[in-house]
Amino acid sequence: MRKVKIILAGGARPNFVKIAPLYHSFSRHNRINPILVHTGQHSDQNMSEQFFNDLSLPQPDYFLQSENTSPNRLTAQILISFEKVLRKEHPDLVVVTGDVTSTVACALAAVNEKIPVAHVEAGLRSKDKTMPEEINRIITDHLSQWLFVSESEAIHNLMNENIPLEKISFAGNVMIDSLHYHLKSNRKAELNSILPKSPYILVTMHRPSNVDSKENLLNTVSMIEQIAALRPVVFPVHPRTQKKLMEYQLLQRLTDHPDIFLKEPLGYHVFMQLMRGAEAVVTDSGGVQEETTYLQIPCLTFRESTERPVTVSEGTNYLIHDLETASLVTQLRLILRGKIKPSKIPQLWDGNTAHRITEVILADFDKADLT
């Protein structure tokens, strides 16, 4: 049976957390030749290079030079650069993960070159088309020949959009593969310079709806201050949020607060340990909702909707959909008093998703070779 050349393409931190288990699974098969492409969407060391080290990924086979300016410009840059890689390598398949600009740009470039696409983490929908990520998800799913979903509702979403069932595979959550491996390996990182001495709340905020406008960023800053009145807050600041805090002259307000600990973006292992040690997590991140559900840590998501509803219906996630700080603080007070809803780890979030995806892809290529 012939060898299959597969390009794994990504450009942002969440991409690499999902790509790592796939790369390792592909590499264990002598029938697969995996090629790693970094689009350059996140070139900051702590946002990408550090994750490569933490996730035992080699240096990318290709690092595309991209300037993360507007989504349109970034998409155009990736399309042009990735097209050159595709024409040089002639892969059998391009695998993309998640919902960032790199995801949709690489999928579009591949389809234009008549190369099939597999989308890992397909079918997630927030039902909010003002989110760029929602548009990216929809376009990527409709461009893809393989759609690997992480929760059952994603299957219904895809079928409602008339995507054939035979393209869809319920594989589980590949991000949990990375977390599962991290927990199993028990790798520890130095946290003394990060943690307050008492129990703490971990906060992450970076969505445009929460940080881009001055009004919304003021609301976010006020919310963090109110959380800090309950417990010390550890706040790793995303580059996007940092830029806006400086632009609106709000950074010093957080820096001067005695119970708010601002940190630069953290490596994967440090952040996972930080999450494991938190009493609760407040976030607007998609991946954090999943990781906290697996770790069984209460999570309060400050967004109107979530594309990961299983983290609410089965997991530890509470959706603060009215975007009211008072609602979040009220729910957080209940959690800190021990009033936590029952939860469980969703189906197939077991650390074996990358293996299942590998088997499906190889089986399908075998079928194609026989026809």
pLDDT digits (tens, 9 = 90+) for 274-290: 999 999 999 999 999 99
Q: What is the pLDDT of residue 58?
A: 94
Q: What is the pLDDT of residue 184?
A: 79
- Kindly tell me if the per-residue pLDDT of 107 is higher than 80: yes
Q: How far is CA 156 from the centre of its chain?
A: 21
- Kindly tell me if the per-residue pLDDT of 321 is higher than 90: yes
Residue 15 inside a domain? The answer is yes
Q: For tokens 């709340």, name the residue.
A: 201
- Kindly tell me if the per-residue pLDDT of 185 is higher than 80: no
| Segment 19-45 mean pLDDT | 90
Instruction: Tally the domains of the chain.
Output: 2
- Do 9 and 149 sit in the same domain of this protein? yes
pLDDT digits (tens, 9 = 90+) for 138-165: 999 999 999 999 999 999 999 999 999 9
Q: What is the pLDDT of residue 371?
A: 62
Per-residue pLDDT band at 369 (split at 50, 70, 90): confident
Q: State the greatest distance between any 2 C-alpha atoms of the chain, in Å, as a whole number.
A: 67
User: Tokens in use for 100?
Assistant: 């960032």
Residue 76 inside a domain? The answer is yes
d(CA 174, CA 157): 19
User: Tokens in use for 50?
Assistant: 């550090």
- Do 13 and 162 sit in the same domain of this protein? yes
**Residues annotated as catalytic (active site), given as ranges:** 206
Domain containing residue 323: CATH number? 3.40.50.2000
- Do 100 and 233 sit in the same domain of this protein? no
| Percent of the chain residues topping a pLDDT of 90 | 82
Residue 136 inside a domain? The answer is yes
- Do 149 and 258 sit in the same domain of this protein? no
Per-residue pLDDT band at 350 (split at 50, 70, 90): very high
Q: What is the pLDDT of residue 114?
A: 98
- Do 285 and 324 sit in the same domain of this protein? yes
- Kindly tell me if the per-residue pLDDT of 331 is higher than 70: yes
| Segment 338-352 mean pLDDT | 97
| Segment 126-134 mean pLDDT | 93
Residue 9 inside a domain? The answer is yes
Domain range for residue 240?
201-265+278-336
- Kindly tell me if the per-residue pLDDT of 68 is higher than 90: no
- Kindly tell me if the per-residue pLDDT of 45 is higher than 60: no
Per-residue pLDDT band at 63 (split at 50, 70, 90): very high
Give the N- to C-terminal CA distance of the chain in Å, as an integer.
13
Q: Please tell me the pTM assigned to this model.
A: 0.94
- Do 173 and 48 sit in the same domain of this protein? yes
Residue 302 inside a domain? The answer is yes
Average pLDDT, the chain: 93
- Do 14 and 77 sit in the same domain of this protein? yes
Q: Which amino acid is at 357?
A: I
- Kindly tell me if the per-residue pLDDT of 195 is higher than 60: yes
Residue 341 inside a domain? The answer is no
- Do 11 and 159 sit in the same domain of this protein? yes
- Kindly tell me if the per-residue pLDDT of 131 is higher than 70: yes
DSSP 103: H
| Segment 222-238 mean pLDDT | 97
Q: What is the pLDDT of residue 69?
A: 75
- Kindly tell me if the per-residue pLDDT of 253 is higher than 90: yes
Helix-helix angle 174-185:268-277, to 10 degrees: 80
Closest CA to 207 of 284, 263, 271: 284
d(CA 183, CA 216): 36
User: Tokens in use for 87?
Assistant: 């024409």
